[in-house]
Amino acid sequence: MTTLGIIGAGNIGSNVAKAALAAGHDVVIANSRGPETLTDLVGELGDHARAATIEDAATAGDLVLVAIPLAAIDTLPTAPLAGKVVLDANNYYPGRDGRIAALDENLETTSGLLQRHLPQSHVVKAFNHINARDIPADATPAGTADRRALGIFGEDPDAKRVAAAFLDSVGYDAVDLGGLAESWRLERDTPGYGKPMTAAQVREIAAATERVVQQ
Ligand SMILES: NC(=O)c1ccc[n+]([C@@H]2O[C@H](COP(=O)([O-])OP(=O)(O)OC[C@H]3O[C@@H](n4cnc5c(N)ncnc54)[C@H](OP(=O)(O)O)[C@@H]3O)[C@@H](O)[C@H]2O)c1
């Protein structure tokens, strides 16, 4: 059993929380407005979930999911996340996040930006290419035929092993697709984005994807 810290309690945060709780993990979840605004959500999530401040969720998590808009990542506290595996669900939506030149010019990736902000953490891209509502709905036990798979990217092999074990526990095969610099392969406007795929399909589709200029 793991304690998952979750920063961001919207679509992704709340649905990963549901999948994690269903798998027997504990959840400590935070948003920007404070734990008192999460009473209804944690009531719905049940006894193994609690609302927290951002610092508390970061500190309490054995691993921590970042599920906030990309434009807000520079506000994340670095010290309580130091040394931790940080799962990053971020995608770039210029209409929501504003234009980010390094992404527009394909010089960076969203998770690369987060890793830069959290140099002492081990960022692993995860959960970014699945619709939030599908996360609890499509979860199946390990060994299920044609099990849905999700790509992961990161620099640290041990962190990717931790992330893969967590994904497996909550219902998904994890496919290691390389470092953060490759993580554009499953981002917005790519063929694999939002598409249910087996592990073999994740590998095949991500490998065949070409990087386009951001619109
Ligand atoms: N929705 C999907 O299906 C989906 C799928 C894959 C990936 N993603 C990506 O995941 C990220 C989150 O998306 P979402 O749909 O879950 O967003 P969302 O529903 O708008 O929720 C965002 C959450 O982040 C919190 N937040 C905002 N700024 C924060 C800050 N500075 N510190 C801490 N918490 C903050 C918000 O708290 P307050 O409400 O208190 O402000 C809210 O709980 C995005 O990058 C998105 O592209 C989304």
Would you state the structure tokens that stand for residue 11, as one six-digit string?
Answer: 């679509």
- 2 touches 26 (CB < 8 A): yes
pLDDT in tens, 146-162: 999 999 999 999 999 99
We report the CATH number of the domain holding residue 199 as 3.40.50.720
Tell how far the Cα of 120 is from the centroid of ligand 1, in angstroms: 23
Tell how far the Cα of 1 is from the centroid of ligand 1, in angstroms: 25
User: Domain for residue 214, yes or no?
Assistant: no
Separation of alpha carbons 82 and 131, rounded Å? 29
Q: Determine whether the shortest distance from the Cβ of 12 to ligand 1 is under 6 A.
A: yes
Tell how far the Cα of 145 is from the centroid of ligand 1, in angstroms: 32
Q: Determine whether the shortest distance from the Cβ of 131 to ligand 1 is under 6 A.
A: yes
Residue 213 has pLDDT above 80, yes or no: no
Helix and strand counts by DSSP (H, E) for the chain: 9, 8
User: Domain for residue 114, yes or no?
Assistant: yes
Strand partners, 3: 26
User: Domain for residue 213, yes or no?
Assistant: no
How many independent structural domains does the chain possess? Answer: 1
pLDDT interval class at 215 (50, 70, 90):
low
pLDDT in tens, 59-91: 999 999 999 999 999 999 999 999 999 999 999
User: Domain for residue 215, yes or no?
Assistant: no
pLDDT in tens, 99-109: 999 999 999 99
Alpha carbon nearest to ligand 1 atom 21, residue: 10
For the chain, the farthest-separated pair of C-alpha atoms sits apart, in whole angstroms, at 46
- Give which of 7, 131, 136, 147 is closest to 63, Cα–Cα: 7
Give the atom of ligand 1 at the shortest distance from the alpha carbon of 97.
45
pLDDT interval class at 1 (50, 70, 90):
confident
- 97 touches 70 (CB < 8 A): yes
Q: Determine whether the shortest distance from the Cβ of 11 to ligand 1 is under 6 A.
A: yes
> How many angstroms separate the Cα of 27 from the Cα of each of 41, 52, 84, 94?
12, 10, 16, 30
Tell how far the Cα of 123 is from the centroid of ligand 1, in angstroms: 17
User: Domain for residue 16, yes or no?
Assistant: yes
Q: Name the residue range of residue 106's domain.
A: 3-208
User: Domain for residue 32, yes or no?
Assistant: yes
Give the atom of ligand 1 at the shortest distance from the alpha carbon of 37.
40
